[in-house]
Structure 1
Amino acid sequence: MSISFTNVHKTLRQKTSRTKVLEGADAEFIGDRLTGVLASPGSGKTTLANLTTGKLRADIGRVRRSSLVSFPVASGGVFNGALTGRENLAFLCRVFGFDPVPIIRFVVDFTEIGKAIDKPFKDLNRDERTKLLFTSCYAIPFETYIVDESLVGGRAAFRLRCEELVLERMQSSGFLIMTSSPNLIKKYCNDVFVIDNFKILEMTSVDEAEMFLGADRLRAGNGELEFVGETDESQILE
């Protein structure tokens, strides 16, 4: 199982500007490994995550996936705000080829949000939304989970349970974690890459990656997010 980038070029285009993210980038991420991609803020982590999941396509080159890859953990962009949590989960399960019944049951039990699972997603409060988004991804048995900075979330008690769930998933699945935090990669990852000068480069260690990029270009972090709505609400489909 692997995710491979071959001569990938990607430029993000807006009405008045263009931002080059990757140029002739090559990399192979082993699908069942715990892999960290370290990059400075604004250098293309989210774009890399979206290329990996297929949400974005390369301008030139190819991204090949030979494992079942998740949507980015806790991404509000995969949920339709007008549908209930249950309906969103059922749709995602059908897309990825899984029976929705046991997955929905797991999510309801794990989140303890009760009847809120049948509210329109846009009407959930921040706590309910955060629990649902983090649990929904980990409830589906992907072969490789894609993380864009936020690995676990929620308030203290739920966040601890979420971390336990992540550790459980790491026993049987791979993770590809994009982050600006060397500490997050040190805690979880075996393999290390960096994004620099529009390339994806493999490093021998987190220390080498941090030295290569420069500590002043990175930031502290532990992959935890209390409320998804603090940063991701704009991605939720209305």
Structure 2
Amino acid sequence: MTVTFKNVYKTLGRKAKRTLVFEGASAEIPGDRITGILGAPRSGKSTMANLTIGKVRPDRGSVRRGSLVSFPMASGVVFNGSLTPRENLAFLCRVFGFDPVPIIRFVRDFTEAGKWMDKPMREVDRDTRTRLVFTAGYAIPFETYIVDENILGGSGEFRERCVDLVAERMQTAGFIIYTSSPSLLKRYCTDFFVIDQHQIFPAATVDDAVARLGSDHVREGSGEVDGIDETGEEVNDVSPG
């Protein structure tokens, strides 16, 4: 269940302005463990996540997946705003080869979405949309869940239930968590890698990963977001202290 990067080259941008992200990067990332990928802001974490799920392809080299990987958790952009949550979930289940009936039932009950299950997603209120987006990913029984910074969402009692849901999934599936936050990795992860100088390096501990990057190149965060708006963008109502 390994995700294997082999001699991966990747640049982004237009012909006139190309940004090098990876240059001959290789790594074997366990897909059945709780693995953290630490990188500085704008170091290529989201690009690596998209390479992992197959959303983008390497310019050269290969990325091979030995398990069924998820879309990034908390990604509102996987929902079509013109479709209802029920229709969106049915579509996602067909794409990944799962029976939609129990998954839709689980999402409906866990989120307490009620009537919103059959309203176009763009009309769903923000709190319910956030509950739906976070629950949808964890409701599908992936073998490896992909987290791009945000692992939890919502507020109040739902946030507490989401914590329990993530802990439950971590008992039966692997996670690959891409983040700039050492504390997020210390909270969850057992295996560690670092994105540095367009390469992917293993690290024995979070502290070793931070030492390689330098403490001024990391950014603390909780991996939690309060809301997701109708465009799929994150919304956080909590002002920094």
> TM-score band, normalised by the shorter chain?
over 0.9
Structure 1 moving runs of 4+ over 3 Å: none
Unmatched tracts of structure 1, length 5 or more: none
Structure 2 counterpart of 1:125, one-letter code: D
Q: Deviations over 1:139-197 (max 9, x none)?
A: 00000000000000001211111111000000000000000000000010000001000
Which structure has the highest strand share of the two? 2
Q: CA RMSD in A?
A: 1.4
Residues 85-126 of structure 1: CA distance to partner in whole angstroms, max 9, x if unpaired?
000000000110100000000000000111101111111121
Counterpart in the other structure of 1:106: 106
* Deviations 1:206-236, CA, capped at 9 Å, x for gaps: 00101111111111111111112399439xx
Q: How does 1:152-163 map to 2 (within 5 A)?
A: 152-163=152-163
TM-score w.r.t. length of structure 1: 0.95
Aligned-partner Cα distance in 2 for 1:174–1:127: 28
C-alpha separation between the residues in 2 aligned to 1:116 and 1:230?
A: 14
Local SS of the residue matching 2:8: strand
**1:205 corresponds to 2:205:** yes
Partner of 2:227: 227
Where in structure 2 are there 5+ consecutive unaligned residues?
235-241
Q: Which amino acid aligns with 2:138?
A: Y
1:70 is paired with a residue of what secondary structure? strand
Count residues with an aligned counterpart: 234
Q: Is the 8 A contact 2:122 2:230 kept in 1?
A: no
Amino acid at match of 1:87: E
